[in-house]
Structure 1
């Protein structure tokens, strides 16, 4: 079993970021920065590969690159996105050859997962989700405790099945939300496609605009209409994986009023990877994007920006 992202990662990066801010630049010597890194409390309990990855990232963006203070602040935003307090583990259950990926989120922690079949999952705070590293030949099985929004990659030959407490949700390819925290009545809300929900005492078939909610006393699923097709918290995390710079800018412009001017059209084609935390506000998101693709995004007034190398 190994840990991909540790709950200590965010604290570790934050301390390095704060230290560099005090320096006023990123031109501190490698030895000074390394001493700060080695002195971090709890850093010693992190797995070796995690420590190595974190230090390599810090070294790459401090020792080997000379950037202005504004660029480093953007880097800090990128590092913050790497680990906001969740963790992910991969393990082999006893008597099974299947490798299971398990992710747990904590308060104010929202994540986007890309599953082996191309399905995207927005995972809300205080949630646990697990699935095989490689899906089997008969079904795509996921276990959920908490809340998540699914955009399932369509595959008629292999149903997508989510087991979440007292309900089991089965789809072929659709988008929907499941809320199934401990001590709460589970519910499913459908944005697109068709969903089958099996409960302890009955089954309901849901389509776009439908919700299936379990009655606490009778433990029966009740079908009702809903205007909430996707939860508000989902909008807090933007998936920009594989998008071009221009596509990301257009996506941000759909939520915020600003204009950009590119120095040349080739800049529009630069590719990004990862996610953006919309809670930062669009100005900080632009800084994060600028650092990620190594461009300069400069404000010419309150709503106009120029993009150049």
Structure 2
């Protein structure tokens, strides 16, 4: 493949302006280098790794801002096949499903935590009894102090499913209180929410991303081994202690997952046959 053709393929990846220019240039340099050296199999795995670099690199949060009179905020928009995990200023973690928009302040107010959601997201809310966490999502409002739950809000379709803790869900006409294993369903004709048994409390799409932030390389590899069969060898013991930041996309295969880790940590992970890999500097 010619370099121009590869550049066109790279540009088609779902970056959608979420990468800073310096990171995009670094990723493209790696892809171009692999291609110039005629490593067709390698550059495809590098492209896969770079495509998910957003959720693998430490210390980066990519967003475009919206300004208000009182505070600056963040808008995150996802696209088809684009699932992300974001961390809010209070420690709350949010898995954002594809085709979803979420708005939140860079720093929450002293008396409340308010965000807006269009689409679907799974929340693990950091507990704070002095500041309720409020999600405005179309026809419903969800209020919690600290819990985990899934919220869907697509037009007149609105639903909240609770995995842990207690949640209050309101429409303009009524309110229901939910605990683990229950859901609130919005009924458009009556403009009310109804309490029901939840069919799903841990959505399958959320499991596409695993949070490895702060784990050692050894711990991350062991976590991956629970669902994938492979052998991993270390050139030196100190490599086991390297700290991984961010999130891994499990929709990739083992080679792509390991390439993502290698790129983020600036190390080398090579296959040596029979599903065995060796890591070195």
Q: Could you say which TM-score interval applies, normalised by the shorter chain? A: 0.7 to 0.9
Alignment of 1:112-123 (within 5 A): 112-123=85-96
Partners of 1:192 and 1:228 in 2: how far apart? 13
| 1:25 match | none
Do the aligned partners of residues 68 and 305 (structure 1) sit closer, same or farther apart at CA in structure 2, a change above 3 Å counting? farther
What is the aligned partner in structure 2 of residue 78 from structure 1? 49
Cα shift at 1:72? 5.1
Q: Does 1:200 align with 2:172?
A: yes
Q: How does 1:243-254 map to 2 (within 5 A)?
A: 243-254=215-226
Q: Is the 8 A contact 1:210 1:224 kept in 2?
A: yes
Distance 2:37 2:128 in 1: 46
Q: Structure 1 residues 250, 132: CA separation in 2 closer, same or farther (over 3 Å shift)? A: same
C-alpha root-mean-square deviation of aligned residues, in Å? 3.2
With over 3 angstroms needed to count, the CA separation of the structure-2 counterparts of 1:254 and 1:53, relative to structure 1, is: closer
Q: What's the CA shift string for 1:113-172, capped at 9, x where partnerless?
A: 111111111111111110111100111101001100011111111111101011111111
Alignment of 1:12-31 (within 5 A): 18=6
Name the structure 2 match of 1:10: none
Residue 105 of structure 1: CA displacement? 1.2
Contact 1:74 1:290 in 2 (8 A): no
In 2, Cα distance between equivalents of 1:278 and 1:53:
22
Does residue 307 of structure 1 match 2:249?
Answer: no
CA distance in 2, matches of 1:67, 1:277: 27
CA–CA separation in structure 1 for the residues paired with 2:72 and 2:93: 19
- Equivalent residue runs for 1:104-253 within 5 Å: 104-184=77-157, 186-253=158-225
Paired residues, number: 266
- 2:238 is the counterpart of 1:263: no
Where 2:243 maps in the other structure, the secondary structure is: coil
Q: Is the 8 A contact 2:212 2:245 kept in 1?
A: yes
Contact 2:30 2:46 in 1 (8 A): no
Distance in 2 between the 1:159 and 1:16 partners? 52
Conserved? CA contact 1:213–1:223, under 8 Å: yes
Return closer, same or farther for 1:248/1:305 CA change in 2, 3 Å cut-off.
same
After TM superposition, the score normalised by the length of structure 2 is: 0.82
Distance 1:83 1:262, change over 3 A: closer
Q: How far apart in 2 are the matches of 1:67 and 1:271? A: 31
- The structure with more strand, counted as a fraction of residues: 2
Is the 1:78–1:292 Cα contact (8 Å) retained in structure 2? Answer: no
**Which region of structure 1 is more displaced relative to structure 2, 73-82 or 193-202?**
73-82
Q: Distance in 2 between matches of 1:176 and 1:285?
A: 27
Evaluate the alpha carbon distance shift between residue 287 and residue 295 of structure 1 in structure 2; reply closer, same or farther with a 3 A threshold.
same
* Deviation, structure 1 residue 51: 3.6
Helix, strand or coil for the counterpart of 1:138? coil
Gap runs ≥5 in structure 1: 1-14, 22-36
Contact 2:185 2:193 in 1 (8 A): yes
Partner of 2:24: 54
